Amino acid sequence: MTGRHRGTRGTTWAAVVVLALTGGSVLDGGVARADNGIDKLSAQQIADRSRDALLSAHSLHLSTRGDLGDDSPPMTLELTLDRDGNCNGSVDLGHSQGSVRIVKRGDDVWVKPDANFWKNQVPGGGSAFAAILAGRYMKGSATDPRLRDLANGCDLDTFQKLVSDNANKDRGTLNKGRKTTLHGAPVVPLTRMRDGQTLTMYVAATGKPYPLRVTVQGAGADAVVGFSAFDKPVPTTTPPPDQTYDISALLSRSPAPV
């Protein structure tokens, strides 16, 4: 499935997290956790431990919202994903450009664009697709070229590899702030200035030193990335057969490109 936004915005958001790391509910269920002592470490030591904690996670919930200052509408993403390539969530392209529900389980992918998506991202043919689907999900294989970008974005392994591969490519001074709280949870903020933007990462000061939030401000950007539900399973419920439509069958019914 094409459209002007496909996987490019997801890549941009991942890059934001990489920049912060290489230099919701934030803790599970309100369970009391021991102080992990990171506030006594240097800024770089905290960043290293936070990156290692993120790389050790088998699943997590990723939340993004705001404007990255790249002349694209503010995008909102809510996605739970794991290392096995399973995911469940949604993407909203902002400014009424459309939203898409996404479910991936094993090699199967289900996507349900809304009416605004079909109208704005598939001009000339979107209304026909929307009418055929009638609110149902499109279903296809994760290896289908039309769904490959979407499927790759559902894989936590891919995201973690991006973080790992860029571990030593940091620029700009990394500064540690005073220990504070984020939604009642103790955190230590780390700040880096880069390309006219201020990136701030809030690292959990109890339990594992997970990154819990990254904010980006300046140079036209005002965005937030949140992490939560570490090692919690991705929901296993998938759309029932009567709520799905095979993507190949759908495309065979309309001459419009996707």
Q: What is the pLDDT of residue 168?
A: 66
Q: What is the pLDDT of residue 133?
A: 92
Q: What is the pLDDT of residue 178?
A: 97
Model pLDDT for residues 69-105, shown as the tens digit of each residue:
777 678 899 999 999 999 999 989 888 889 999 999 9
Domains of the chain: 8-252 (2.50.20.20)
Q: What is the pLDDT of residue 245?
A: 95
Q: What single DSSP character describes residue 144?
A: S
Q: What is the pLDDT of residue 255?
A: 45
> Which element (helix H / strand E) includes 79?
strand 76-82
Q: What is the pLDDT of residue 21?
A: 54
Q: Report d(CA 163, CA 175) in Å as an integer.
A: 20
Q: Say what the pTM is.
A: 0.84
- Could you tell me where the DSSP H helices lie in the chain? 8-21, 43-56, 115-121, 126-133, 148-152, 156-165, 247-252
Which stretches in the chain have pLDDT values below 50? 2-9, 11, 23-31, 255-258
Q: Report d(CA 141, CA 100) in Å as an integer.
A: 17
